[in-house]
Structure 1
Amino acid sequence: MASLGLSAREQAGCRQLLEFLETEELLALTDTVTNRLVHPESRQEAIHAILVYSRSVEELLKRRKVYREIIFKYLATQGIPVPPSSEKHLLIDRVKQYWSGQLTPPALESGNRKPHAESHGERQKSPQDDIHDLGEEFCQWFFELLNSQHPLGVKSEERWGPQHFWGDAKMKFSYNTLEKNTEEYVGAEMVSLRLLSLVKEEYLVFNPNLHKNGLKCAMSQHGLVLIAVAGTVHRDDTCLGIFEQIFGLISCPVRETTWKIKVVNLKIVGQNALEPGMQIEKPSTKYESKQLQELYDGKELTIFEPQEF
C-alpha cells in the first residue's frame, strides 16, 4: 500500500525517530494509528504500518505516544540544536523544517565549514551543551527549593511536594559518618518526605558545586536525562562533609516543559569518614557522561550504587 501522505524524506526521518520508542510503545502506537486493524509481528512491521496509515508528519508527531523527549533526542542526534525547554509543538516545527530542507545542521551548512561562533573565539553549542544547561538549571531550581524548606531558609514561592516526582519514583540514600547506612524509599510521597526531613528536621543545607567537575549530565537513547552533582553539606556554620547526588529525569507528556524526578541516589560522607587529602571545598562527581548513560539499561530505571568518593 502506498503512503497516504508522507514524502520519501519524511518516511526516512520518521523511521529513525520511531526507532527511539520501546517495542511496547511502538505496538501501542500502531494500534492507535491503524485503529487496531494491523497486528505487526516485529518492530519494523509496526513502523511500516505507522508510516502507511499516518496522513501527515504533524498528525504522527502529535500522537501522545510520540513523547516530547523522543523528538528532542532525534533532533539532538541529527545535530539540530534546540533549547531543552522547548515545547513539543516547537520541536515538531523544527523537525518539519529539517525534513523539508529548510533547516540544515550547523556542521553541514555549505560555505560554513567553521561555525561563526568559533571564528570569534567562542565554542559552538552542541546537543551535549544543551543537556548540561538543562542539568545546571534543574540543580539550581532543586537545591534552592529544597534549602528553602530549612526553618531558617529563605522561603520559596514554589511549593515542595510529591508533585515534582513520578508516582513510582525511587530513592536510595547512603550516608557514612561514624558507620555506613543505607535507606531506600519508593513512591513520590515517601521520596519527597525523606528529602524534606533532611532539611526541615535535620537542619541540613546542600551547597552544590555546579562548576567544572561538580556537575555531569547525559541523556539516554530513550530520552532519560541523568544528572550527577557533588557538593558540600552544612548545618549552621559547620561543614559536615560532602555529598554526591544522581537524578534521573523524565519529561512529563502532559506538561511538555516539565521534567519530573524518576530516581534519586544521594550519598553523604561526613568529614571524619573522608579519605586523606580529599578537597572538601570543591567536591567533584566521580561519574563521566558515558558512565551515567550506562546506568540506564534500556528497559527500566534501577536504583544504582553510587561510586565511592
Structure 2
Amino acid sequence: MSGLSETERTGCATILTLMSAADVHSLTDTVTNKLIVVENTTEAVETILSFSKNAEEFLRRKKVQRDLIFKYLVNQGVVMPPNSEKHQLVKRTLELWSSGKVVSDKSSQEEKKGILHKQPTDVSANVVEVGFDPQVLGQQFCQWFFQLLNSQNPSLGQQPEDWGPQHFWPDVKLHLLSRTGSEQTQDEFIGADLVSLRLLALTKEERLLLSPNLEPHGLRALMSPHGLVLVAVAGTIHRGSVCLGVFEQICGLIRSPLEKNSWKIKVIDLKIRAQDALPGTEVAAPALTYSSSELQFLCS
C-alpha cells in the first residue's frame, strides 16, 4: 500500500512525466523487484506510486535525477540555487508538498493558467473589488507568467504551454534593458506580436530560464484607482546549471471588458543584468530595487 498523500502522489506523478519511458519502466522494476510486469507507461507510473513507501524514498531513487527535481521546483515557482545538491532539492520538495501550496494537478494547473481570466464580482473592469488584494494577484500572475514562458525552453524537455499575443493588449509596449559589464543596450517593442516574439526568443532561442523570487522582498504589486495593476518582481536568470545574472520586471495589467474582464498585459519593463557566475557559485534570491514610492508614481 502506498504511503503517499494525495499531494505527494500528484507531485511524484508530475516528476515521472519528466522522465523517459525507459527510465520509468526501469524504476518500476526497481520498486517492485521485477515482480510485476506492466503493459505501458501509464500502468508503470501507477505501479511506482502504489509501491512507493513514502515521498522521500521516491525522490531519493537513482532514476529520479537531481535535474528532474530542479525542473519540477522551477515549474512550481520555487527559487533554488542552480547548484543545489540533490538532498537539498529533496528537502525543499518535501517541504513544498507538506505546505499544501502545490500547483501540479490538472485542475490546479487550469486554475493557475486562468488567473488572467477571472471575472470580478458584479463590478466593472475599472473598479477595484471589495477585498481585492493586488499582492495575491501579483503572485498568481508571476507563477502563471514565468511557468508559461519557461515552458518554451527546449532544454526543460516539457510540452510548451499556450504562449502567444493573446495574453497582451494590441498596443502593449516592452522596454528591454540589458547590461553586460560596462555595456548597456536598450530596445523597445510595440504590439502584441512583436512583444510576444521577443519574450519568446529569450527562452526558446536563447534558452534562458527566468526564476522569479516570489518572497515578499522580491515581489510587490500595486493597483491604481482606475484598475491598472503593476506587478514588480526580481529574479535570477539561468542557462543550464549556470546562473547568468539577475532581472527585474514590471508588468502593467488591465482587464479587458470585451474578453470576460480577463487580465491582459499592457506594458512590460524588463531589466537584465549579467554577472560573472560559474557552476557551483551560490546565488542568493535577489530583492527588488524599486521602492514602493517609485511604483506608486508609475501606478498613478
Which whole-Å CA distance do the structure 2 matches of 1:195 and 1:282 have between them? 22
Structure 1 residue 155, shift from structure 2 partner: 3.5
Which whole-Å CA distance do the structure 1 matches of 2:165 and 2:266 have between them? 11
If the length of structure 1 is used for normalisation, what is the TM-score?
0.53
Which whole-Å CA distance do the structure 2 matches of 1:236 and 1:84 have between them? 30
Percentage of matched positions with identical amino acids:
49
Say if 1:214 and 1:284, in contact at 8 Å, map to a contact too: yes
Structure 1 residue corresponding to 2:119, chosen from 87, 90, 101: 87
Q: Which has the higher contact order (CA 8 A, sep 6+)?
A: 2
Structure 1 residue 280, shift from structure 2 partner: 4.2
Aligned to 1:221: 225
Structure 1 residue 272, shift from structure 2 partner: 3.6
Aligned to 1:169: 172
CA radius of gyration, larger in: 1
CA deviation vs aligned residue, 1:26-51 (integer Å, no higher than 9, x gap): xxxxxxxxxxxxxxxxxxxxxxxxxx
Q: How much is the aligned-residue C-alpha RMSD, in angstroms?
A: 2.7
If the length of structure 2 is used for normalisation, what is the TM-score?
0.54
Q: Say yes or no: does 1:150 pair with 2:153.
A: yes
Aligned to 1:199: 203
SS of 2:154's partner is: coil
Amino acid at match of 2:122: L
Structure 1 residue 258, shift from structure 2 partner: 1.5
Structure 1 residue 221, shift from structure 2 partner: 1.7
CA deviation vs aligned residue, 1:146-172 (integer Å, no higher than 9, x gap): 000001225457411111000000001
Which whole-Å CA distance do the structure 1 matches of 2:216 and 2:162 have between them? 30
Say if 1:88 and 1:256, in contact at 8 Å, map to a contact too: no
SS of 1:254's partner is: helix
Which whole-Å CA distance do the structure 2 matches of 1:131 and 1:260 have between them? 15
The within-5 A match list for 1:35-184 is 87-88=119-120, 90-91=122-123, 127=132, 130-155=133-158, 158-178=161-181, 179-184=183-188
Aligned to 2:16: none
SS of 1:90's partner is: coil
Aligned to 1:187: 191
Say if 1:168 and 1:188, in contact at 8 Å, map to a contact too: yes
Aligned to 2:77: none
Q: Say yes or no: does 1:241 pair with 2:245.
A: yes
Amino acid at match of 1:210: L
Which whole-Å CA distance do the structure 2 matches of 1:238 and 1:284 have between them? 20
Which whole-Å CA distance do the structure 2 matches of 1:198 and 1:285 have between them? 21
Aligned to 2:293: 290
Q: How many pairs were matched up?
A: 178
SS of 2:211's partner is: strand
Poorly superposed stretches of 4+, deviation over 3 Å: 83-86, 88-92, 154-158
Structure 1 residue 185, shift from structure 2 partner: 0.5
